[in-house]
Amino acid sequence: MQRMCGKPSAGSYACRMSEQPARVLVVEDEAAIADTLLYALRSEGYAANHCALGRQALAVLRAEGADVVVLDVGLPDLGGFEVCRELRTFSQVPVIFLTARSEEFDRVLGLELGADDYVTKPFSPGVLMAKIKAHLRRVSTGRREQLLELPGLTLDYYAQSVIMGSETVFLSKKEFGLLSYMAQNVNRVVSVDALFQLIWGTESLEDTRTVAVHVSNLRKKIEADPANPERIVTIRGTGYMLVARGSV
């Protein structure tokens, strides 16, 4: 049986939160500002990283993730608004915009794109640090409710990702929906019709190919050998089963 952190369950698998320091990614092309922020963050015990370009930041976030992103709007290669727009396709990490723009339109646009906060240059490092701490507290509290841990496999509902050992794999919305449903019915068969109706909201009308394609894509991301799956097994004539045996 599985257990959702923070919620009652008859399961026996323990929920574990990382004891690693919170990770803050600073995306800023002005070296003096970046150095000041990195020094302040590291002095507070955070694991602070820096990117000067938007595309570099997106690559780092896809590969490593972060707990909070401080994002400059005026980046030289890919603007902060565009970075935030793309980031929201695979992560819900809190984003604090850092910008010289103070117009209300820019503030509204940033928030509509999925930013969580806004700090205008010139800024007080103390104010920015307070905002970072506030968002980290919110993330820490929220994540306890959004981790589902199975042997060798942890679903992160906040980041729409799956964690396997030290590797984090980001999934599409439908892939995560399929895996989540199977995880909540671990070691039990779930029918193709049930998966189709849950994810697409309609009956399958005997067309199982859509589910099969998404399961195949999911296997490519979480199976060591997708051609011979051990996590998501096919139950011929019925559906699929997420296999998770043993204990963590």
Q: Mind listing the pLDDT tens digit for each residue in 64-88?
A: 888 899 999 889 999 888 999 899 8
DSSP assigned state of 100: S
Whether the per-residue pLDDT at 7 is higher than 70: the answer is no
Whether the per-residue pLDDT at 14 is higher than 50: the answer is no
Supply the mean pLDDT for the chain: 80
Whether the per-residue pLDDT at 2 is higher than 50: the answer is no
Q: How confident is the model at residue 59, as a pLDDT?
A: 93
Q: Find, among 45, 87, 81, 41, the residue nearest to 65 by Cα.
A: 87
What separation, in Å, do the N-terminal and C-terminal C-alpha atoms of the chain show?
11
Whether the per-residue pLDDT at 190 is higher than 80: the answer is yes
Please state, in angstroms and as integers, the Cα–Cα distance from residue 133 to each residue in 1, 72, 86, 209, following that order. 35, 18, 24, 46
43 by Cβ neighbours in 10 Å (0-12 / 13-18 / 19+) ranks as exposed
The C-alpha atoms of residue 210 and residue 42 are separated, in whole angstroms, by: 47
**128-139 residues labelled b (16+ CB within 10 A) or e (exposed):** bbebbeebbeeb
C-beta separation of 26 from 50 below 8 A? yes
Q: Mind listing the pLDDT tens digit for each residue in 200-248?
A: 665 555 566 788 888 999 999 999 999 999 999 999 988 999 998 643 3
The C-alpha atoms of residue 42 and residue 132 are separated, in whole angstroms, by: 13
Q: What is the pTM of this model?
A: 0.53
- The percent of residues above 90 in pLDDT, for the chain, comes to 32
- The percent of residues above 70 in pLDDT, for the chain, comes to 78
Please state, in angstroms and as integers, the Cα–Cα distance from residue 197 to each residue in 72, 200, 210, 215, following that order. 42, 5, 12, 15
The C-alpha atoms of residue 27 and residue 53 are separated, in whole angstroms, by: 7
Q: Give start and end residues of each alpha helix (H) in the chain.
A: 31-43, 54-64, 80-87, 104-112, 125-143, 173-183, 192-200, 209-222
Task: Catalogue all structural domains in the chain, each as residue range(s) with its CATH number.
Answer: 23-143 (3.40.50.2300), 147-242 (1.10.10.10)
**Residue recorded with tokens 């097994």:** 233
Q: Mind listing the pLDDT tens digit for each residue in 104-131?
A: 545 566 666 677 888 888 888 888 888 8
Give Dmax over CA atoms of the chain in angstroms. 64
